[in-house]
Every structure is written in C-alpha cells, then in structure tokens.
Chains A and B, each alone.
Chain A
Amino acid sequence: AQTVTQSQPEMSVQEAETVTLSCTYDTSESDYYLFWYKQPPSRQMILVIRQEAYKQQNATENRFSVNFQKAAKSFSLKISDSQLGDAAMYFCAYHSGGGADGLTFGKGTHLIIQP
C-alpha cells in the first residue's frame, strides 16, 4: 500500500515571502500521479497542482510550483509571493496511474501567513 508523509504539521511565512511544504511518499509503482490540494476554513478541497510521474519537468501553476524528485520519492510545494488568501491546510496526495481506487492523502500542513 502507498503511504504519503507530510512532516510539517504547521508552517508560518511572512506575506510576500516564499515557503516550501514537504511531502514524501512510498510506492513500488512506476506510473502514478501526485497532487497538492488546498483546504481553506470553508473546508472545500481545491486542486492546486498536479504532477504525472513519467514527466520529468516540474509542474508550475502561477505562484505555485513543485520540486518532484522521483528517485527520492519527494514532492515539495513552493509558494512564491505568499498572499493572505494562501492561508489554509495543504494536503499532498497520491494516485495510482490508471487505477480506479482513490487518493491516498498525507495528514496535511497548516500554512499561516503573517501580514
């Protein structure tokens, strides 16, 4: 079974600064997807960014980018120019490529933005 580990229960960053959230995973599969989801206090699950394991290029979405290290099984999220609206829980998640079963989530990191 796959596991996802987020070792930082809470992170704090000054507004406009850059912060990196860590995620490691364990799998024996070669075909899979990795995701970062944002969960604000409204509890909605919002997709931030997606990485396909077979793609070597790191995914980027505006201020959000990932550092995908497949050999190390590491998938960190970098948020640049942090904004107050970025404050939320962030979950790293794993999905088997072509698999029907659901996402495997980490426990999450609570991101605090200091004004």
Chain B
Amino acid sequence: NAGVTQTPKFRILKIGQSMTLQCTQDMNHNYMYWYRQDPGMGLKLIYYSVGAGITDKGEVPNGYNVSRSTTEDFPLRLELAAPSQTSVYFCASSYFGQGKTQPQHFGDGTRLSIL
C-alpha cells in the first residue's frame, strides 16, 4: 500500500497564481486533513473532511478551498497565492469507527514557495 500520497513534492508559484495540491489515500480512511507547517512551528489544521461530500474549516482556512468527491482524494486549492502561504503542506488521513479515532497517517508533504 502506498498510504497517503501528495503531489507535487515541491513547487514555486508567483504571487496571484493558483494551484491545486493533490492528496490521495488507499487505506479506505473516512477522515482526511490538510495541515500547514511554518518554519519553527507545529502543524496547523487548514481543512478537514469526514467523508465524501463533507468538508469543514480548521484553524487557518483563509485563502484555501477543498473538495472531497471521493473517499480517496482530498485536493487543496490555492486561488490567489500570497507570500504568507509559503509553507510546507501535509495531507493526512485516519479511520473513525465504533466511537474511536485511529492515529493519523501523513503524506510526505509539499514544500510551496510563493515569490
């Protein structure tokens, strides 16, 4: 199993450009998450999803959009890139069932620079 796969691994954008960070998981997890990690900081939650068609905002959602059309995929879209969005982005997934949440599995991250 590949686990959680993120693409691309590295990208440079110009201010005002748009892009989509891709995330797919093959573990049949119902919950998926997007985090960002700024230098010297822990991860902060951007958006999460509890299943196909259901998404909700996390701590830092401004400037981002998400969709969840399938169980496997959870893309993150930046519409108008700003320097403040320079960060490392992590996608994660987990399984929730029988009242318990299993630990989150993380992708390898996407390093995004906005210049």
Contacts and interface: CB of A to CB of B under 8 A. Distances in A.
Asked if A and B are interacting partners, one says: yes
A11 interface: no
Given A91-B43, A107-B42, A101 B106 contact: no
Contacts, number: 61
**SS class of chain B's interface: helix, strand, loop or mixed?**
strand
Given A91-B43, A107-B41, A100 B56 contact: yes
Nearest to B48: A102
A9 B78 CA distance: 31
B103 A105 contact: no
Contact of B101 (A4, A99, A105, A108): A99
B114 interface: no
A77 B50 CA distance: 30
Contact of B100 (A45, A91, A98): A98
B53 interface: no
A88 B96 CA distance: 29
Interface of B: 31, 33, 35, 40-45, 48, 50, 56, 58, 88, 90, 92, 96, 99-101, 103-104, 106, 108-109, 111
8 contacts: A44-B106, A99-B101, A100-B31, A100-B48, A102-B45, A103-B45, A108-B40, A108-B41
